[in-house]
Amino acid sequence: MPRLPGQGTRASGLLKHRPRAVGLGHPSRLDEIRPETTERGLSAYVTEALRLKRDRDRLLELVGWLEDEHGPVTEDEHATALKELAELDAEHARRRAESGSIGTAA
């Protein structure tokens, strides 16, 4: 039976992902990231890196749109946001510490 373009060789039919060749630039770049890829594998590492890059690009695009509409963030607004984030981080750390001590008291 002839296969349609994009059809794999597996009995299940279409393959969702086809292998792709990707250049990493200088060969030492692969040596730099290899220790971080041992559990998941290089393909999963690169896939995650691409997803994160895409997400960052989309966030930067959103920031651009918001700055066009509302103007750039002032230093005071930036400082206030960083303070609020620090307070949230501290609250999360406090809750994690509390939940870790639940049931450990004698």
Q: Has residue 96 been placed in a domain?
A: yes
Q: Mean pLDDT throughout 54-60?
A: 97
Q: Has residue 31 been placed in a domain?
A: yes
Quick: pLDDT tens for 11-33: 445 556 777 777 777 778 888 88
Q: Has residue 19 been placed in a domain?
A: no
Q: Has residue 62 been placed in a domain?
A: yes
Q: What is the pLDDT of residue 54?
A: 97
Quick: pLDDT tens for 26-52: 778 888 888 888 777 888 888 899 999
Q: What is the pLDDT of residue 7?
A: 47
Q: Has residue 38 been placed in a domain?
A: yes
What's the total number of domains in the chain?
A: 1
Domain hosting residue 91, numbered range: 27-100
Q: Which residues contact 73 (CB under 8 A, 6 or more apart)?
A: 67, 81
